[in-house]
Amino acid sequence: MDFHSVELFAGAGGLALGMAKAGFRHELVAEWERNACNTIRDNINKNHQLMHKWNVFEGDVRQIDYSKVSNKISLISGGPPCQPFSFGGKHRGNDDKRDMFPEAVRAVRELKPKAFIFENVKGLLRESFSSYLSYILLQLTHPEIVRKPNEAWEEHLRKLELYHTGNGEFGLCYRVVHQCLNAADYGTPQKRERVIFVGFRSDLDISWSFPEHTHSQEALLMDQWITGEYWERHKILKEKRPEVPKNLMNIINNIKYSLFKPEGNAWKTVRDAISDLPEPKKMGDSYFMNHEFRGGARIYDGHTGSCLDEPSKALKAGVHGVPGGENMVAYENGEVRYFTVRESARLQTFPDDYIFKGSWTETMRQLGNAVPVDLAYIIGKSVKKQLEKAEQI
């Protein structure tokens, strides 16, 4: 059974790869940034197993004619540009011309997919954006209630509220849920929080909830500081192990003296993700693609790097280039160095055979904007399972 999909605002392809891994076949993959498109095309040309027959649209999504999409679409997924809402951005929200949520809604309105998955930054949950978050949710719920030219978004919000309370599920309607997920709780070696929107077309009568967490900090702390299994797995001798973090002693003691072992798997750490990679060397000296050393890393206020034995900090793209602290690994001896592109790709759970194009800065920006592939896969697989059940009824 084929489930055809459209991927918008694809970036370097993290969300798109996760959806493909879950079993969706992309009829269209849209992205405007040239380097990200070059990355996607280069991997398509190398016949990457997850990218069979991807049709790449490089340009402004506002120019897409969805009537030319050949198959009925089961899923639309994508990450509308997040700078309007990010903590690192300028916080203009709906007043920012980069707000592309209206285009996500247009795609839903014109393609009428069975489901959609959109993601954005945690900053969208700020109290100052609460009204606009409600506006986004109501637009996704009732995509056929179109905003008129020159109509203020606040006026359109009132119209949507009246329609929502007065007409229920009349017309094209989606049942929408959203939640802020930490990728570390799903096995990604990175503390990356993203707001995920999932909607199912109401006529399908599908019941769905976000997948339960599979990993936890408590399980990691138990493996590290109570059983020692973490260090033994990495073959770290006792005299080489770091000291127990003082700021975590209360949590560790609570676990130690509890009658119940933490459920699930341990958070994955930076060491888990990159320890099998050789130390990065100069260009051309590495067997692994995109694994070249880059000098110049340093610590300064607020930028101290990611600890080796925790999930990394969230990789960031940055408004004025690549931030230093989020893209460095910090060793116990106080030394820091930049993550290589390949190491950053590991933290975002891209497969090792996925190659990135562009300069280090441009490539790290692609990775800083990406959705972890494995997190996308977990959500996509859960959504597809419900769509398969609906097909059988």
Structure letter (DSSP) for residue 196? E
Residue 303 dihedral angles phi and psi, to the nearest 5°: -135, 90
Q: Report pLDDT for 91.
A: 40
Tokens of 196: 């995920």
pTM, full prediction:
0.93
Q: By C-alpha distance, which of 49, 67, 76 is closest to 387?
A: 76
At 203 the three-state DSSP class reads helix
- Spatial CB neighbours of 148, under 8 Å, sequence gap ≥ 6: 156
How large is the angle between the packed helices 101-111 and 130-141, nearest 10 degrees? Answer: 10
Side-chain-side CA neighbours of 192 within 13 Å: the count stands at 31
Residue 200 · residue 115 · CB < 8 Å: yes
Q: By C-alpha distance, which of 69, 129, 72, 70 is closest to 101?
A: 129
Q: Report pLDDT for 322.
A: 62
Q: Report pLDDT for 302.
A: 76
Distance, in Å, from the CA atom of 287 to the CA atom of 142, rounded to the nearest integer, reads: 51
At 139 the three-state DSSP class reads helix
Q: Report pLDDT for 81.
A: 83
How large is the angle between the packed helices 34-45 and 360-368, nearest 10 degrees? Answer: 90
| Residue for token pair 């929107």 | 197
Q: What amino acid is encoded at 230 in this protein?
A: Y
Which parts of the chain register pLDDT below 70? 82-98, 168-169, 282-287, 318-324, 393
Q: What amino acid is encoded at 101 in this protein?
A: F
Residue 88 · residue 316 · CB < 8 Å: yes
Distance, in Å, from the CA atom of 111 to the CA atom of 106, rounded to the nearest integer, reads: 8
Four-point Cα dihedral 7, 343, 91, 302, nearest 10: 170
